């Protein structure tokens, strides 16, 4: 019922004022990445029943780094430097979210994190860029749509501040990735990011869990959790970071941020299908707004023949 409702919104939005909508392969690649990341929601639900968020993050990036190891020897020094900066920004986002989730609900965290969709075009303007007004409006709509899906109140000063800081870190990451991706081979840039994130994540896990936590780690990873970690590491991290580094060579940061707003939409859909979570009409409306925002960001002005 609900997915059919969202589908009707998508189909009707494709006919907006006769403007052509062209979803090229790079946009579709980023949309596929958000689908894969959306599926991580139920996987994380299962994994965090036995592991902490820090342990899950460190292990997924460690698995991803092992997958990317064949590319490591060919990574040049300038790519290692770029990967360190980009990897640190992503890890800061994970750390800030993990801290915030100790005090606020996952819904509120999702809403505050979604502010990065709006931060990207605003930062672009502040840095002298001139994003399309359609993309700016689409970013505002996407942020509002995610707000309808997830906002539930329950303010906490420090947790809210940390989560917004994480959103800012990811916004800067998206901008830097679009700016730097063309200067690097996608597989090498993804490899450098994974290795740095695995290193920093493992150090953080040892510091946070202590040696007692590390010793009990194998006994807390059963077969189901191990398969989930493989999905998180191999598919959602190694595969999608490569896809992201490849596609953002051709997609602006502002447009990419709007596309990434599809992640909570897919997360809600998979949560409904897999975990039997409730998908309210308000959440469905928010999801439809996000879908419309993505379509809007792809609109091209209609061209008219010159007057004769």
What digits encode the pLDDT tens for the residues 31-61? 898 888 877 767 777 787 788 878 888 899 9
Query: Which residues have a Cβ under 8 Å from the Cβ of 28 and sit 6 or more positions away?
Result: none
Burial class (CB in 10 A: 0-12, 13-18, 19+), 124: buried
The string of DSSP letters for 145-174 reads: HHHHHH------HHHHHHHHHHHHHHHHHH
Say whether pLDDT at 13 is over 60. no
Question: Residue 276: which pLDDT band, with cuts at 50, 70 and 90?
Answer: low
Q: List Cα–Cα distances, 56 to 95, 112, 276, in angstroms.
A: 12, 22, 23
Say whether pLDDT at 131 is over 80. no
Domain limits for position 109 = 2-297
The string of DSSP letters for 169-225 reads: HHHHHHHHHHHHGGGS-HHHHHHHHHHHHHHHHHHHHHHHHHHHHHHTHHHH--HHH
% of residues, the chain, pLDDT over 90: 17
249/192: higher pLDDT: 192
Say whether pLDDT at 228 is over 70. yes
Distance CA 209, CA 215 (A): 10
Comparing 13-17, 78-82, 116-120, 139-143, the range with the smallest average pLDDT is 13-17
- Angle value at C-alpha 275, between 273 and 277, nearest 5 degrees: 85
What digits encode the pLDDT tens for the residues 142-191? 888 877 876 666 667 788 888 889 889 988 998 898 888 888 998 899 89
Q: Does a structural domain hold residue 305?
A: no
Q: How many Cα atoms within 13 Å fall on the side-chain side of residue 252?
A: 17
Count other Cβ atoms within 10 Å, centred on residue 268: 26
Say whether pLDDT at 24 is over 60. yes
Q: Does a structural domain hold residue 292?
A: yes
Q: Does a structural domain hold residue 303?
A: no
Burial class (CB in 10 A: 0-12, 13-18, 19+), 49: exposed
Distance CA 269, CA 165 (A): 27
Distance CA 293, CA 123 (A): 19
Q: Does a structural domain hold residue 307?
A: no
Q: Does a structural domain hold residue 280?
A: yes
What mean pLDDT is predicted for residues 281-295? 80
Per-residue pLDDT at 153? 64
Say whether pLDDT at 78 is over 90. yes
Helix 116-126 with 133-150: angle, nearest 10 deg: 150
Q: Quote the distance between the C-alpha of residue 2 and its chain's center.
A: 23
Count other Cβ atoms within 10 Å, centred on residue 187: 18
Per-residue pLDDT at 298? 66
Per-residue pLDDT at 46? 77
3-state SS assignment for residue 299: strand
Q: Does a structural domain hold residue 304?
A: no
State the total domains in the chain: 1
| Mean of the per-residue pLDDT values of the chain | 79
Q: Does a structural domain hold residue 64?
A: yes
Q: Does a structural domain hold residue 302?
A: no
């Amino acid at each position: 019922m609900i997915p059919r409702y969202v589908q009707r919104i998508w189909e009707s939005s494709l006919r907006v004022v006769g403007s052509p909508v062209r979803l090229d392969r790079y946009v579709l690649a980023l949309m596929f990445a958000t689908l894969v990341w959306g599926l991580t929601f139920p996987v994380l639900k299962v994994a965090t029943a036995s592991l902490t968020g820090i342990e899950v993050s460190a292990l997924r990036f460690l698995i991803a780094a092992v997958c990317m190891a064949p590319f490591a020897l060919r990574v040049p020094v300038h790519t290692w430097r770029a990967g360190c900066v980009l990897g640190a920004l992503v890890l800061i986002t994970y750390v800030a979210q993990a801290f915030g989730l100790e005090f606020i609900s996952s819904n509120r965290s999702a809403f505050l994190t979604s502010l990065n969709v709006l931060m990207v075009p605003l930062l672009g303007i502040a840095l002298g860029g001139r994003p399309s007004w359609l993309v700016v409006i689409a970013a505002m709509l996407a942020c509002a749509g995610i707000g309808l899906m997830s906002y539930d109140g329950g303010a906490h000063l420090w947790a809210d501040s940390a989560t917004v800081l994480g959103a800012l870190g990811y916004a800067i990451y998206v901008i830097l990735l679009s700016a730097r991706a063309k200067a690097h081979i996608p597989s090498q840039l993804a490899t450098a990011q994974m290795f740095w994130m695995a290193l920093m994540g493992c150090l953080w896990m040892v510091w946070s869990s202590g040696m007692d936590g590390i010793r009990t780690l194998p006994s807390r990873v059963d077969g189901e959790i191990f398969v989930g970690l493989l999905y998180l590491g191999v598919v959602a991290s190694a595969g999608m970071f490569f896809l992201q580094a490849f596609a953002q060579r051709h997609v602006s940061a502002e447009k990419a941020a709007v596309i990434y707003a599809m992640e909570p939409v897919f997360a809600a859909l998979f949560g409904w299908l897999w975990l039997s979570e409730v998908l309210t009409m308000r959440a469905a409306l928010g999801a439809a707004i996000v879908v419309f925002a993505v379509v809007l960001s792809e609109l091209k002005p209609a061209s008219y023949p010159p007057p004769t």
